[in-house]
Structure 1
């Protein structure tokens, strides 16, 4: 996903110029994925990257001449890119994840700290800054929050595949199967579609009412099952929640689920370019009481927020001031009385475009949008 590299370097060049910097050091997985589309992790369970990327503006890099990236910066400051990795990871990264990028390499022994090979000083900014770097975490988060056209297309494909994987897995679930076995099916379906499962949760029957983050257990499915996943490809993440009821839900259960979709609609209606994520959050949480839920229902679980390069950039709350921008990604996550709904949406000037869709999943129209219904049988 490097055909938009020039556009992204223009954005980084503008950030650097605004902050009076000539070098940016990207250390966070989200930042590296945003720039390169590459996987920078080794263990899925850690957010630590296995390499650092040094982006230097103005010709020769801080540690010698670097390769110029095409279309680097509108300011006329060409960019050079240097990857800093240890001797274990460098060959794999060079041959696979970063093979198409115009990079120089700094390779260190695996027993040495990569930090010693990174540039420092008043003209160097980083998203994970050391003591002699400028902190640009908030600046970089704002830059990567707005997807390029190419990234938006990739996210749509990731979301469609994650939805299809969840549908396939939940159709294979059966009564008596344990939550772990159901999680295995979901993992299989995600990996078959080249999606890394970065979040995986299963709730048999009504366990989801008590445990909002139900990691799988050996509990058997005897009535219904909830599957939850976050699938990642090219650094972009889709969030999916689906329910299967093996017995027809009661009218009261259907009513509760429908009211929860109305709460989600309030979040989505308030998700507009130019408003703050905190204002959209406040509109959504106010809808709980308006739709017959406990006024404090939202206290029991976070409601989502900015997504895209992380399952959640941070849990949004009423004091969150970051603006919702065109082509940003928001994933709301309302839940209540044992039910939950979740989707990733791309924010456009016309409103949020919901992405986690599968033609094989039953739907219901809520506030003019096609939303996932309960799968029965």
Structure 2
């Protein structure tokens, strides 16, 4: 069965449960999921796409304005030979609603507010990933990690955070990856801010680069740190602690485990290692896939880990951080943003060795 057929089978079950005759999909991450990795956005930083997908009990439609229709058909979905294209004039936006109502008789649900339709959450439908998605996200993880290593090894003292962000963007885009999140911090900004958007601050001795990279709609997250000169004992102690916390979170991300229980083990590790309040200063991550985080896990989060679900934990202790993307499977989770030519810290847990990225010392 094709990937898009698997997705539409899940969608039609949702239609049956909701007694609806159609689902209108416009959010760009849902559109990418349902179409097997196709894009409907114009603005990179927007969540709502410029083109919609309408799935009914028997057919599938692309609903696009006269601006978007030519590109969507030629470059995105046309080759699939699966979708019926419905086009409305860009200067008559209300025509889109009339098209949807005509096809569905007005009985439709939607993933973002549109007309009087009820909004539904499609997150439960996105997992488990299909075989094709697993192949794509593993390839993305390796590519994103290599981009990160190449750029971090090129950083020199005196580079501004914006220059580093530009280098990172060039590397990602050159490999077909959109940077959905790109954070860079130098020196004191690593200690002061958990979400350091890049500025004209010049790096002197210490740099942190954080990315969420998107390709074919799927996303992975990676963080790496670079230090010029000898790493001082305080940073070394903190980093050894944070990679152990990260390893504990990864180790416990097994199919069927409760999200809140996994986080509780991470919080206990912070306490055991002498940093009891650090987890409160930043979220610890959560499942990724079609968003940089599908949701961030907190102590009250409900639900359990699914099979073939990508997850990115990101524990931090002031001045350092550890973050990679893993994929759950039959047994232990697999790190899909692996290091290639990068120093690592070995963390042993229950007889298993987790190789977590160290700070690159230059």
Distance 1:326 1:206 in 2: 40
What's the CA shift for 1:3? 4.0
1:346, CA displacement in angstroms? Answer: 0.9
SS at match of 2:53: strand
Structure 1 counterpart of 2:291: 310
Superposition pairs of residues 9-20 of structure 1, within 5 angstroms: 9-20=8-19
Q: Give the one of 304, 321, 343 matched to 2:324.
A: 343
- The correspondence of residues 36-185 of structure 1 with structure 2, limited to 5 A, is 36=35, 37-57=37-57, 79-101=58-80, 102-113=82-93, 114-119=96-101, 123-130=107-114, 132-137=116-121, 140-185=122-167
* d(CA) in 2 for partners of 1:170, 1:279: 34
- Name the structure 2 match of 1:354: 335
Q: What is the CA-CA distance between 1:109 and the residue it aligns to?
A: 1.9
Q: What SS does structure 2 have at the residue aligned with 1:98?
A: helix
Displacement of 1:370 in angstroms is 1.6
| Structure 1 residue 215 corresponds to structure 2 residue 197 | yes
Aligned residue in 2 for 1:233: 215
Kindly provide the CA deviation profile for residues 83-106 of structure 1, in whole angstroms up to 9, marking residues without a partner as x: 111111111111102122311111
- Identify the residue that residue 365 of structure 1 maps to in structure 2: 346
Q: Report whether the alignment pairs 1:186 with 2:168.
A: yes
Name the SS for the 1:97 alignment partner: helix
1:251-270 to structure 2, matched below 5 A, reads 251-270=233-252
The answer to whether the 8 Å contact 2:127/2:307 transfers is: no
Please state how far the C-alpha of 1:123 moved relative to its aligned partner. 4.2
Kept after mapping to 1: 8 A contact 2:243/2:345: no
Provide the rounded CA distance (Å) in 1 between the counterparts of 2:108 and 2:268: 43
Distance across 1 between alignment mates of 2:259 and 2:22: 30
Match of 2:230, SS? Answer: coil
Single out whichever of 363-372 and 111-120 deviates more from structure 2: 111-120
Q: What SS does the corresponding residue of 2:261 show, helix, strand or coil?
A: helix
After TM superposition, what 4+ stretches of structure 1 lie above 4 angstroms from structure 2? Answer: 120-123
Q: Classify the secondary structure of the residue corresponding to 1:285.
A: helix
Further displaced range: 28-37 or 97-106: 97-106
Structure 1 SS opposite 2:126: helix
Structure 2 alignment gaps of length 5 or more? none
Moved more, 268-277 or 80-89: 268-277
**TM-score normalised by structure 1 residue count:** 0.89
The TM-score normalised by the length of structure 2 is: 0.92
Residue in 1 that maps onto 2:25: 26
Instruction: Determine if contact 2:21/2:56 at 8 Å carries over to the other structure.
Output: yes
Match of 1:297 in 2: 278
1:222 and 1:14 map into 2 onto residues whose CA distance is 56
Q: Is the 8 A contact 1:180 1:217 kept in 2?
A: yes
CA distance, structure 1, for counterparts of residue 246 and residue 339 of structure 2: 19
Q: Deviations over 1:208-255 (max 9, x none)?
A: 221111111111111011111111100011111001111121233212
CA distance in 1, matches of 2:105, 2:123: 21
How many aligned positions are there? Answer: 352
Q: 1:121 to 1:300 in 2, by over 3 A?
A: farther
In 1, Cα distance between the equivalents of 2:284 and 2:99?
A: 40
Q: Give 3-state SS (helix, strand or coil) of 1:99's partner.
A: helix
